[in-house]
Amino acid sequence: MPFRLLISLGLLCALLPLHHGAPGPDGSAPDPAHYRERVKAMFYHAYDSYLENAFPFDELRPLTCDGHDTWGSFSLTLIDALDTLLILGNVSEFQRVVEVLQDNVDFDIDVNASVFETNIRAFQTPTGMPYGTVNLLHGVNPGETPVTCTAGIGTFIVEFATLSSLTGDPVFEDVARVALMRLWESRSDIGLVGNHIDVLTGKWVAQDAGIGAGVDSYFEYLVKGAILLQDKKLMAMFLEYNKAIRNYTRFDDWYLWVQMYKGTVSMPVFQSLEAYWPGLQSLIGDIDNAMRTFLNYYTVWKQFGGLPEFYNIPQGYTVEKREGYPLRPELIESAMYLYRATGDPTLLELGRDAVESIEKISKVECGFATIKDLRDHKLDNRMESFFLAETVKYLYLLFDPTNFIHNNGSTFDTVITPYGECILGAGGYIFNTEAHPIDPAALHCCQRLKEEQWEVEDLMREFYSLKRNRSKFQKKTMSSGPWEPPTRPGTLLSPENHDQARERKPAKQKVPLLSCPSQPFTSKLALLGQVFLDSS
C-alpha cells in the first residue's frame, strides 16, 4: 500500500534537497517538450487512479485508494478534468466521459452545495448578494447562515454572462451584475472590501482586506469579466481597487492584509491563494510589478518545494497550522500567463521545479496526495479536483507554446449561421477561476437570437422560397422549413434537439437554444470553438 511505502521513505524524502537549481549543466532553460510529456504522465497517473478507485465519488483519496464526496456528490473530479483532456489532445476520452456524465450525473439531489464551488444560483436576498450554500433540491435551507465571503459573491459574472448569452435569458447576467455592484457599493471610504459580509444586512462581518482567500476571485472576475464582455465599467472598478490595494496593502512587492477602514496591517502574511495576482497583473499589462511579485513568491516555493497556505513575511517561515500545500495551481497559473507575455526562462524554471517537487513529494501509488506539512513533507489523504482542472493544465500549457489555447488568431474555425459565416476558436480564451476556458467569440457567434430576429428570418425565407418556386413554374408554393445548415466541418453542436431539425410552428416559432447549427451529438463535438470528428 502507498501509505506503508511512505512510512519507509517519508523521512528520507523530507531530508533530501529538492531540485531547485539553475537551468541544466549547459546553462539552457528547461526543455519544454521533456516537461510537457512529464506533465501528461502526471495527469494520467492521477486521472486513471481516480477512475479506478474513486469514481463516481467527487474526489480521490490517494493514500487509501478510494473516494469520497466533497462539494456535492456529482463526480466533481471527472467534470473538472474534461477540458484538460482536450487540451492534452485526448478527444476520444473526452467524448466517452461526456456520455458517461450525461447518463449518470444528476443535479436534482438533496445535497447542500457551495454556491461558489458549483456556481448555482441563490440570489434571492434583500441585497442581491447570494447565500454561500444552497440545497440543490430544496433551495436555501431555513436557518442558513447569511454570512458569505466576498469571492463567493463576486465570482459569477464570467459563467453567468456566458450562460445568458448562450440561452438568451438575461437573468443570469443580471443577478451576477447586481451582486458585483452591491460589493462595489459596500467598499470602505479608502476603497477596500473586507473578507465576509452579511448578505441580508450588507454589513461587513470580517473586515480584513487583501487579495487572498475569501476575496481573490472577486478581483479576478472584474478583470476577466471586463475582457470577456468588453465592459469598461468592470475594468474601471478593478483599476480603482488596484489603486487602493497598492496604496494600503503592498509592501516591497508583497501584499499584506489590512483593516479595510483604516488601512492598518492586520496580518503580515502571504497566502498561497494570492499567487494568482501576478497573472492577473499581466492581463492588464502591468508586467514589471507582476514579475517582481512573482519572484517573491517563487523564493517561497524554492524554500519549501511548494507554497505553504500561510507564510509569515517578517519571519520568513510558515504559519502554525497553515504549513500544508494541497497542490494548488495559482503560482503556476501566474507563470503561464507571464511566460506568454515575456518569454522569460525563469518562468519555465518554476514549471520545472513544480514538476520535480510534486512528483518527488506528492506522488503515491494511487495518484498525488495533498502535502499536509511542507516542513517534513507529510501527506494527507486527499487529491482535490483542482489538481486535474488547474494545476496540471497550467503546467502543460506553460510547456506547450503551440497549444490551441494559445492561438493568436492565425487559425480559426468558421461556423455557418442563419446570418452568414461566424468565426470561432481564434484565441483569447478566458479561464474561469477553475481554469475552464471560454471562447469569447462564442458569446457573439453562438448567442441565442432574439425571437423577432428569427421571425424576420422566417419571412425572408418564405419570400425567397416563393420567388424560387415561381421561377420553376411550380403550381404549389413550397413550404419553407427552418434553416438547415450544410453538413461540413466547422458546424457547432447545439445541446438540445440533437436528433431532428427544429419544427416550425404555425403561430410563434420556438427560439432555438443556440444560433449555431444543431448537429447530432454522436456525429460532431465542439468545445472552446474547436470542432472534433468521431474519427479524430
Q: Which three cell numbers stand for residue 376?
A: 517534513
Known catalytic membership, residue 240: no
Candidate list 309, 384, 413, 434, residue with the active-site label: 309
Candidate list 330, 390, 413, 434, residue with the active-site label: 330
Q: Work out whether the CA dihedral 298, 304, 308, 313 comes out positive or negative.
A: negative
Candidate list 83, 208, 216, 220, residue with the active-site label: 216
C-alpha distances in Å from residue 31, one per residue of 36, 251, 349, 354, 358:
9, 35, 10, 14, 18
DSSP 275-307: GGHHHHHHHTT-HHHHHHHHHHHHHHHHHHTS-
Query: Are 461 and 480 within 8 A, CB to CB?
Result: yes
C-alpha distances in Å from residue 304, one per residue of 9, 53, 308, 326:
18, 30, 8, 13
Query: Are 153 and 179 within 8 A, CB to CB?
Result: yes
Q: Which three cell numbers stand for residue 111?
A: 445535497
Dist CA 307 CA 318 (whole Å): 9
Dist CA 394 CA 411 (whole Å): 22
Known catalytic membership, residue 309: yes
Using CB atoms within 10 Å of the CB of residue 27, give its burial: 0 to 12 exposed, 13 to 18 middle, 19+ buried: exposed
Closest CA to 386 of 404, 406, 368, 366: 368
Does the annotation place 433 within a ligand binding site?
yes
Q: Work out whether the CA dihedral 136, 140, 145, 147 comes out positive or negative.
A: positive
Q: How big is the CA angle at 170 (ends 516 and 152), to the nearest 5 degrees?
A: 110
DSSP 364-409: ETTEE-EEEETTTTEEES-B-THIIIIIHHHHHHHT-TTSGGG--S
Amino acid at 207: Q
Dist CA 197 CA 439 (whole Å): 33
Known catalytic membership, residue 216: yes
Dist CA 31 CA 46 (whole Å): 23
Query: Are 385 and 55 within 8 A, CB to CB?
Result: no
Q: What is the DSSP letter of 147?
A: E
Hey, how many other C-beta atoms are within 10 angstroms of the C-beta on 143? 5
Candidate list 31, 69, 117, 344, residue with the active-site label: 117
Known catalytic membership, residue 117: yes
Using CB atoms within 10 Å of the CB of residue 205, give its burial: 0 to 12 exposed, 13 to 18 middle, 19+ buried: middle
Dist CA 224 CA 158 (whole Å): 7
Give the annotated binding-site residues for Ca(2+).
Answer: 433
**Binding site: which residues?**
433
Query: What are the residue numbers of the active site?
Result: 117, 216, 309, 330
